[in-house]
Chains A and B, each alone.
Chain A
Amino acid sequence: MRYIVLCSFCLLVLGCSSQHTQPSSPSATPTFGVSADPDAKPVDKQWQYQDSVERAAHTTSEASTAQDLNTAATTYLPPPHLPIKSPASDVAAAEPKVAFVAGEKDL
């Protein structure tokens, strides 16, 4: 019983914490966000600015990332990903046209 209780609570805590990490990080598994690499840091603490050329120097895929980030803001958003308006919404146009960054590293 005690092992069941302990393990259950561990699963709970692991899962809870995964909510606040980035599951797709190379160092974090999607399930419960537990890192397999003891030295890995799931959270990229560096602030990242869109449309910032300087960021390229801090990424592993410098050229493509910087280029993507710089073009992301003007890339046309395909229809399936347009925001869906609520009845009260009148600002769909205010949604910046931000597209998915294809070349960005898997955060």
Chain B
Amino acid sequence: MMKLNVKPRLNRSTTSSIPPVAGKAGAIGWSFLTLSLGMSLLLSPTAYAEHADRLSTIQHIEQPWPRLQLQGEQLTSIAHHPTWALLLHSWQGDAQIHAPEFLLSAADFSLERELQATLALFSQQPATAFCRFPARITFIAQQLEITLPSERFQPCAELQRYRDYVPFTSMELVFASEVLDSTTSMLGHVFLKASGVNHRGTAVAHSLAYFAEIPPYNPARLMFASTVTGLPGYYIVRPFATDKRQYVQKEQRNLWQFALKATDAQKELLQLHLWELRNLDIAYYFQSFNCATLTLELLALLDPAVLETRRLFVSPHDVVKAAHQAELVKTTDVLYADPWLFAALQQQLPSEQRQQLDAMVLQQVDSGAGDNAITWPEDIVEPALAARYLTLASADAQRRGRLSAAQHAQLLSTIPPSAHRAIQLEDEKSPAKTPQDSMLGLGMQRIADAGEPVWHLKFLGSGHYLYGDNRQYQTESELQIAGIALGYDALTQRTQLYELTLYSMKSYVPHQSLYPQWSSEFYAGYQPIVQSDLRMDYAGEVSGALGKSWRWHADVMAFVMVGGGLSVPQWQQSYTFALAKTGFIINLPANLKWISQLEVNSGKSQSRQAYQEWRQQLSWFPVQDQALTLGVVQLRNQDKHIDLYQAQWQYFF
């Protein structure tokens, strides 16, 4: 016989909010209240009124709940309904959230058994079942076309408080842009946002997000937990202002807010379902159950079609794309962090207007106590953009101590009220338009004047390349997580590991006078290195570089980097090396991209012989998820030089 855990370990707050109901305890309570009511009639009208209120409350609790009974095909049908699987976060029949507070059949989970267990709990303790699993009960009742009592939330004080304070009038999917100098922030972050007017009449907005708790610093334990046993994870609700401040102000990341299409019933079901996730330990697995995975499953409650995009690894970009593909997105708003906004304004405002605005700030700085003669230029074409530009430039001057708060305020007062409005940036980037982040590639490399080429088969778990289509990213960058390439040498007819990238990133953030930024690189993996005869060997490597990048034009960037690293050709051999590189990146018409780079390296092999590498790469992006890259690399040391020709086709999925 199936073993059911019909007394789930409820969280403390929920348990305490549920009064005793049903059965003998309920009858005793009723008798006691009847007696109390009779006694109270002898006291005073006020006391009667109080008891009447209490009686009314109890009557609601005692209000009969409908019987939810399922048998045979009906039970099977509902158990295999996509929404039921989503409410249980079951993927391909397996449970992903194993907390016994959430899964009544955790010991022997199946969709049917969990449905039976939920029904069994509801039949015994309907109020307890509803207060703990309001979305499940609501869904089952809807399927049976049974109306639940209108006062069904009465016994659930904590749930009711949540509904009062966290309205779901409108819903948004929020994407926090990549942080280019942080390992996983390069993937971005995604969460839901619910907005509306709460029961106090106040407009509020809440973030609904999944977080993992990092154990004390212990790399081995952390590595094992995040990929094998899982890290403790929690779904939390908190004011959106907290996240807005964190991401936009502190981390200077842009927030994309995608307003979602949803019916009232869908929003209510999602609202109730999130309550079911409260206080649960939801195990976090980086590769299979992360914030993007859970958010995608929650989105599926609005439209199951988004799950069609679920593949090997779900990233925040994937969730945004899935929402767009399922046509769930109504509108898009972007909250820009100051550096990105200023960079965009610099690109979009005519240089003459920028000079006028800069002159206003300069005039105010020179005025000392403030200059009342400063006026808003009459010929400003884009007043809203100019107002933002002046606000940022003046704030920067204040931050540097060149303007007082009063001067800053005085300068802003010159902006006409009509300029204070939402702005629209041209060429707005979107996480929905980036290529997919897993890649399969086929390439070849041939040494000039040599015989047969070396063929490569490449796979990238997650990320993108510097030579890829990065026009929809904030800036030029590269991220490689779990990349592997096998090489087949047609001359020797040998196949061997050509490259194994554990983690690689390049972040070329443009330097701006108002917002100085560093560019950086890091590599950890196994890749070909140049030997003294300019032939290739293979070595483990950890390296990094720091430098500056400049955006000369919307499509032209230049960079200078200096760094070093450790090369390990064999187990007992390791060599340090230094490097310096410079180059430029140009996005050309017809979906072409050209990267030219010169690197000077002190040498990674045993000979420690310095060499220069001059690399030219031309990429073509015929469609969003495919690319063809051609390259010419010239290697030169003090003795000789060789030329390499490269070609690679990439398919992103």
Q: List residues of chain A with CB under 8 Å of any chain B CB.
A: 1-2, 4-24, 28, 31-36, 38-39, 41-52, 69-70, 72-74, 79-92, 94-101, 104, 107
The 0/1 profile, CB within 8 Å of A marked 1, for residues 247-289 of chain B is 0111100000101000000000000000000110000101000
- List the 9 shortest-distance A-B pairs measured between CB atoms, nearest first: A15-B183, A8-B524, A10-B219, A49-B165, A19-B184, A38-B216, A50-B239, A83-B333, A86-B332
Give Cα A107 to B183, complex, Å: 21
A69-B239 CB under 8 A given contacts A8-B525, A79-B388, A91-B331: yes
Tell me, rounded to whole Å, the shortest Cβ–Cβ distance linking B187 to chain A. 7
Give Cα A19 to B423, complex, Å: 30
Number of B positions contacting A (CB below 8 A): 91
Chain A residues with Cβ below 8 Å from B259 are: 91, 94
Chain A CB within 10 Å, residue with most, of B184, B214, B525 = B214
Give Cα A89 to B259, complex, Å: 9
Tell me, rounded to whole Å, the shortest Cβ–Cβ distance linking A77 to chain B. 10
A18: contacting residue among B162, B185, B332, B571, CB under 8 A: B185
User: By the criterion CB–CB under 8 Å, are B222 and A84 in contact?
Assistant: no
Besides the known contacts A19-B182, A83-B335, A98-B204, 5 further A-B residue pairs in the complex with CB atoms under 8 A apart: A15-B182, A15-B184, A16-B184, A44-B238, A79-B388
Chain B CB within 10 Å, residue with most, of A1, A14, A28, A39 = A1
Tell me, rounded to whole Å, the shortest Cβ–Cβ distance linking B348 to chain A. 12
User: By the criterion CB–CB under 8 Å, are B424 and A86 in contact?
Assistant: yes
Secondary structure at the A interface, as helix, strand, loop or mixed, is: loop
Chain A residues with Cβ below 8 Å from B223 are: 9-10, 13
- Which listed segment binds A: B70-78, B82-90, B195-203, B624-632? B195-203
Chain B CB within 10 Å, residue with most, of A17, A34, A69 = A17
Tell me, rounded to whole Å, the shortest Cβ–Cβ distance linking A62 to chain B. 16
Does B311 count as interface, using CB distance less than 8 angstroms?
Answer: no
User: By the criterion CB–CB under 8 Å, are B503 and A81 in contact?
Assistant: no
Secondary structure at the B interface, as helix, strand, loop or mixed, is: mixed
Does B420 count as interface, using CB distance less than 8 angstroms?
Answer: yes
A45: contacting residue among B183, B195, B236, CB under 8 A: B236
Instruction: Please name the residue on chain A nearest to B423 by beta carbon.
Output: A84
Chain A residues with Cβ below 8 Å from B540 are: 1, 4-5
Tell me, rounded to whole Å, the shortest Cβ–Cβ distance linking A4 to chain B. 5
Instruction: Please name the residue on chain B nearest to A2 by beta carbon.
Output: B571
User: By the criterion CB–CB under 8 Å, are B239 and A84 in contact?
Assistant: no
Chain A residues with Cβ below 8 Å from B570 are: 1
Does B54 count as interface, using CB distance less than 8 angstroms?
Answer: no
Instruction: Please name the residue on chain B nearest to A32 by beta carbon.
Output: B183
User: By the criterion CB–CB under 8 Å, are A17 and B212 in contact?
Assistant: yes
A85-B182 CB under 8 A given contacts A8-B524, A50-B205, A51-B204: no
Chain A residues with Cβ below 8 Å from B529 are: none
Give Cα A38 to B215, complex, Å: 8
A20: contacting residue among B182, B233, B240, CB under 8 A: B233
Give Cα A107 to B290, complex, Å: 21
User: By the criterion CB–CB under 8 Å, are B162 and A49 in contact?
Assistant: yes
Chain A residues with Cβ below 8 Å from B161 are: 49
Instruction: Please name the residue on chain A nearest to B281 by beta carbon.
Output: A45
A18-B524 CB under 8 A given contacts A42-B214, A101-B242: no
B286: contacting residue among A5, A16, A28, A43, CB under 8 A: A16
User: By the criterion CB–CB under 8 Å, are A79 and B233 in contact?
Assistant: no
Between A and B, 16 residue pairs with Cβ closer than 8 Å are A1-B571, A1-B574, A8-B542, A13-B223, A16-B286, A17-B212, A19-B183, A28-B214, A31-B182, A47-B162, A51-B198, A70-B202, A83-B333, A86-B331, A86-B333, A87-B428
Chain B CB within 10 Å, residue with most, of A28, A35, A48 = A48
A98: contacting residue among B226, B244, B330, B334, CB under 8 A: B244
Chain A residues with Cβ below 8 Å from B220 are: 10
A21-B566 CB under 8 A given contacts A10-B222, A88-B331: no
B226: contacting residue among A4, A13, A39, A43, CB under 8 A: A13
Chain A CB within 10 Å, residue with most, of B202, B278, B542 = B202
Chain B residues with Cβ below 8 Å from A92 are: 333, 422
B211: contacting residue among A16, A20, A96, CB under 8 A: A20
A47: contacting residue among B217, B237, B541, CB under 8 A: B237
A85-B424 CB under 8 A given contacts A5-B502, A19-B184, A51-B165: yes
User: By the criterion CB–CB under 8 Å, are A50 and B290 in contact?
Assistant: no
Instruction: Please name the residue on chain B nearest to A37 by beta carbon.
Output: B216
A21: contacting residue among B187, B214, B388, B481, CB under 8 A: B214
Chain B residues with Cβ below 8 Å from A28 are: 214
Instruction: Please name the residue on chain A nearest to B524 by beta carbon.
Output: A8
Instruction: Please name the residue on chain A nearest to B330 by beta carbon.
Output: A91
A100-B524 CB under 8 A given contacts A1-B540, A14-B183: no
A24-B250 CB under 8 A given contacts A8-B502, A15-B183, A89-B332: yes
Chain B residues with Cβ below 8 Å from A22 are: 211, 246
A101-B213 CB under 8 A given contacts A14-B183, A79-B420, A86-B331: no
Chain A residues with Cβ below 8 Å from B250 are: 24
Give Cα A98 to B574, complex, Å: 55
Tell me, rounded to whole Å, the shortest Cβ–Cβ distance linking A56 to chain B. 13
Tell me, rounded to whole Å, the shortest Cβ–Cβ distance linking A89 to chain B. 4
Chain A residues with Cβ below 8 Å from B251 are: 23
User: By the criterion CB–CB under 8 Å, are B278 and A47 in contact?
Assistant: yes
A19: contacting residue among B206, B222, B291, CB under 8 A: B291
Does B245 count as interface, using CB distance less than 8 angstroms?
Answer: yes
Does B210 count as interface, using CB distance less than 8 angstroms?
Answer: yes
